[in-house]
Each structure stands twice: as structure tokens, then as C-alpha cells.
Homo-oligomer: A and B are copies of this chain.
């Protein structure tokens, strides 16, 4: 059963990933005015092999609400651009200081720090340009810019990353942990992840819904799916950092414990973390039942997230 689900999803994901990668490559064709090295760094970061989970969410949400994949492609490209920019900036020495990403040197390692900062800036800017230029209906375009900006900004992804880096907060968290206040720790962790990862998962689904002019009930259901999926994704990410395979994930593992960072496995243990992820995935799938068969692929995607090894 599980393997059938994974196979089903793998086929769809492969088909969609090819189309997404084509659209992304077309969006960053080196053009007039962009310096060659910067263009190279942008392509290096955006076109690196990746799961393309967020753009797939955009496309599947749009399809579930009755729209065509092609109509949602600008939204799909935009979320992947924002995701790629966030990885480039998060990997910088002043932030997470990572050397390896998606199996290759991080952008500031392959190029240099200044180029990485600028490539990230350019990708973030390009995301909004893509929405405004490529979505033909200006009302939808403006709505999509709002959705993406709110999710990516200070109260969303950027805020989550700031909290995640906040040494004072890490100290509080550790003290709570040492006093055995597990629930308080979990609440803090969740509030970080809801913004750092969850906001962009939800935005992806909301973008798909906006392009398809979904009803507010449909959008609400997709957001509930996204919130649960995002948190499950993060727990699995933490689990992979403890027990994953560097070759499969393409990044250096064991970083969290090295940095003394509190994670789901360090708070709850591996088994309980797995159980929580399972429950969240079940909740995610329950939220989209009203869509019926139209949401079958979103359901497969959730199962894939639960079982992923990278």
C-alpha cells in the first residue's frame, strides 16, 4: 500500500518536476543587463536538483480546485524562487554557515559571499516580477503578490529564521527543556516552524487556490492541510538530521545536535517524533477529504513527505 502510494506520487512528481524545471530554466535565461557571474549564481541556486515540493503544492492545489497546471506555473516558479533565495541566504556564514546544499557546494562556497547575497536578492525580486508579469489577470497577480509577500516576510519565513537564529531564545528553550517543560518547548519550536517552513507551504497552496479562483472553503481546507503538512515536514527534517543519509539528503547531517539545537527528536525521542509526524499527516489528509478524488495527489504527496529520505 505505502509503496503504491509512493510510486503513484513519484510518477506525478516526476512529470510535474520536469515541467517546473523547464519553466524555472526559462525564467532565468541569462539576459541583457545581468552580469555573467551573477546570472550563473542565480541559475546555480535555482536550478540545483531539489524536490520542488512547494511548486508541486501550487500546481496540485490549483488542479484540485479545477484549474490547469499551466495557469498556476508562474505561482509555482515564484515559490521556488523564494525557497531558493532563502536557502542561499540561510547558508551564509553569518547565518547557518553551511558548505553543502543539495549535494553541491553552497552558493557562497561556489562563488563568494557578495555574489550569494546578491543572487538571493535577485531571486526574491524575480519571484514578484514573475507573478506580476506572467499571471495574465492583474487582480489575481496582485493577490498572489500579497500572499507570497506576507508568507515570505518579517511575520513569516524571515521572522521564523530570525527566531531560529536568536541565541536568547535558544537559551530560554534550553532552560525550559532542562526544567522538563516539554510542552512549552514544543510550543516555541512550533511557532518558529510555523513561520520558517509552514508559511511557505501554506502560501504555495493559497497561490494555487488563488489562480483557480477557489472558494473560501476550499482555500481554508488547503491551508489546514498545509499547516499540518508543514509541521510534519519539519519533524521529518529533524529526524533526517539525526538518522538520515548524507548521500540521499545532499546536505551535512547531525548539525542540529552539534549546535546544541533543540529539535523534535531531542525533545520527544525518535519514536514519538515519528508518531507525531504520522498524526499530522493524517490530519492533513483529513482536511482535504471534501475535495474527493481531486485531492488524491495532495494526499499522496503528504504520504511521501512522511516517508521521504531526502
A contact set with B: CB distance below 8 Å: 31-35, 37-39, 42, 85, 89, 92, 94-95, 112-115, 117-118, 120-122, 124-126, 128-129, 131-133, 135, 138-139, 141-143, 145-146, 149-150, 152-156, 158-159, 161-163, 165-166, 195
Contact = CB atoms under 8 A, between A and B. Distances in A.
Copies of this chain, count? 2
Contacts of A162: 35, 37-38, 114-115, 118
Nearest to A116: B94
Nearest to A82: B125
A97 B136 CA distance: 42
Contact of A114 (B33, B94, B115, B141): B94
Contact of A132 (B124, B133, B146): B146
B146 A33 contact: no
A208 to B, nearest CB: 18
Nearest to A123: B154
Contacts of A125: 124, 149, 152-154, 158
Contacts of A131: 145
Contact of A146 (B94, B133, B155, B195): B133
A279 to B, nearest CB: 25
Given A33-B159, A33-B195, A35-B166, A117 B114 contact: no
A122 B35 contact: no
A133 B31 CA distance: 30
A162 to B, nearest CB: 4
A34 B126 CA distance: 24
Nearest to A108: B94
A33 B155 CA distance: 4
A95 B114 CA distance: 5
Contacts of A32: 155
- The 7 residue pairs across chains A and B that have the minimum distance between CB atoms: A33-B155, A129-B149, A94-B113, A132-B145, A122-B154, A138-B142, A125-B153
Contacts of A126: 149, 153-154
Nearest to A161: B118
